[in-house]
Amino acid sequence: MQPPLTDLPIKTADKGFYSGFNVDVTVTSKLVVGALVIWAVAFPEQAGSVLSGFNTFILANFGLWYIYVMASFVLVCLVLALWPAAGRLKLGLPDDVPEFSNFSWFSMMFGAGIGVGMLTWAVAEPIYHFRNNPEVIQGAVEGGTAENFINAYQWSYLHWGFSAWASYAIAGLSLAYFAYRRGLPLTIRSSLTPLFGKALSGPVGTVIDIVAVIATILGVAQTLGFGVEQFVAGMSRIGIGEWLMNDEGTASSLGIIVAIVIIMGASTLSALSGVGKGIKWLSNINMGLSIFLLGFLMLFGSTWFGVQALFVGMWEYIINLPSMMFTVYSGDGTGGVADKLEGWQGAWSVFYWAWWVAFAPFVGLFLARISRGRTIREFVLGALIVPAIMCFVWFSFAGGTAIDMELNGAADGAIFGASDGDKIFAMTGLMLGEVLGWGMAVIIVVLLMTYLVTSADSAVLIVNTINAAGDEGPKARPHILFWGAALAAVVAALLLVGGLTAIQTAMVIGALPFSLVMVLMWIALIKAIYNDGRREAAGVTTTFDPDTSETQ
């Protein structure tokens, strides 16, 4: 057995504006993102039509691929946690210890990975599935009734539970393993070295990193798109101005621009301060506010409904998980039940799987960055189970309260009729009345702001890390400013041209090539762990030497 590859040179500029950056990855990524923004603004109808056509083709032909890919992520995480030889391995050198406390680690992981979605979808998604899901389509239960309550939760948990976090865990494990055990650059291409070796120093690796950057920008744009709509709704609720909303009750063009300027301005300033300062403090703040809001809903919301949703819903989710993960609905072209099931799965499960894949390079690299010194088993349990349960608790008490208020007539359709981003404001306003409801709306807006800023500034730092060939050190300020502005431009352009649908479509398209990269990542990781076990048995070193490594 030969020692593992511990040197993967990636060419970077040694002077000029791009000093320290891989010019091919950085410039190509900028050109692709810039072209997308210009195309969407200059030719909105053509852009909308082409993107829609691609989206339809992908959902119709790659639904099975996405479903099986996500199922493989969950299975691989379980194998790595239970495999003794893998679970005890440290993501780093033997003497490395975690940089962050468990609380900060969980806070940053949850905030960057999925936190902002809680404020929109913890209320909105259970309500959607309460009225329509595969059981309703097949006639097993009537939508909008108490009998469909638990069904709504098992499907919500499917989309926000172990599958989502397994995709992040696969990416994070792969990157941390090869960066901190092998001393390779902290970038996407390094995770494929067991398969492609030093060829990743060239064009193959460049393409992989470009795909990761574009997927990251589109995945984060999707999250920010939802957040901007909700932020505008919240600003309107607390009386900042009716001009933020249009006649349809959604964010106006001016409202979108104002929200993006505020969010991206704050996130860029945070990104300039780095992970250990701005991002860490913001993550701790939003975790504290999240606990406060969640505690309020648990104590003063529909507590019994929430408890049922949490425990019974989790039980139904876990026992039905194999079936839900592997079932692929295929239409027959008649417009009947089969077509409706296929349409539902494409609009929900396949869309979510694409979203999590697009988010995975960003969240995975960020998780790797904050997880050095932890074991694989600790990482999997921490990144897979704890955040998933946190999502379940959010969904059960926030969504359960909303459903209960509609069932008992207290809401009288006000929550059902609100836009997705406004549902949580409508619910808390009905619970607390005008004055206290206003105060709670302010807290939710602040919490939303911290989540959005955390997601955006983390994404900017991660994109720069990939562009800088894995360099985690301080990046040139102009590049942070550029990617902050670029991310803002992507969100604004697509929202103004085609609303959230345009962002969703672009994200689904961008996620497809990276889903193949992620499959290769877990194959490479399994191969590396297996071979490292053989190396240990043969007395061959499995980690890099920091005294001789040029990457350290």
Average pLDDT of the residues in 222-226? 78
Q: Does the pLDDT value for residue 334 go beyond 90?
A: no
Mean pLDDT check: name the lowest of 84-98, 153-167, 213-227, 289-303.
213-227
CATH code assigned to 23-538? 1.20.1740
Q: How far apart are CA 231 and CA 446, in angstroms?
A: 9
AA letter at 274? G
Please tell me what DSSP assigns to residue 95.
T
Q: Which residue has the tokens 């997601």?
A: 455
Q: Are 223 and 112 contacting, i.e. CB atoms less than 8 angstroms apart?
A: no
At residue 279 the predicted structure's pLDDT band, cuts being 50, 70 and 90, is: low
Q: How far apart are CA 92 and CA 84, in angstroms?
A: 17
Structure-model confidence comparison of residues 192 and 217, the more confident one? 192
Q: Which residue has the tokens 């701790």?
A: 284
Q: Are 184 and 193 contacting, i.e. CB atoms less than 8 angstroms apart?
A: yes
For 171-238, the three-class secondary structure string (H helix, E strand, C coil) is HHHHHHHHHHCCCCCCCHHHHHHHHHHHHHHCHHHHHHHHHHHHHHHHHHHHHHHHHHHHHHHHHHHC
pLDDT at residue 551 in the model: 40
Integer-rounded Cα Rg, in Å, for the chain is 23
Q: How far apart are CA 112 and CA 172, in angstroms?
A: 13
At residue 271 the predicted structure's pLDDT band, cuts being 50, 70 and 90, is: low
pLDDT digits (tens, 9 = 90+) for 475-533: 667 888 888 888 888 888 777 776 667 777 777 788 899 999 999 999 999 999 999 98
Average pLDDT of the residues in 335-356? 89
As a whole-number percent, the residues of the chain with pLDDT over 90 amount to 37
Which residues lie closer than 8 Å to 192 by C-beta, 6 or more apart? 200, 205, 208, 517, 520, 521, 524
- The whole-chain average pLDDT of the chain stands at 85
CA atoms within 13 A on the CB side of 267: 31
Mean pLDDT check: name the lowest of 66-75, 279-288, 348-357, 408-417.
279-288
Domain ranges of the chain: 23-538
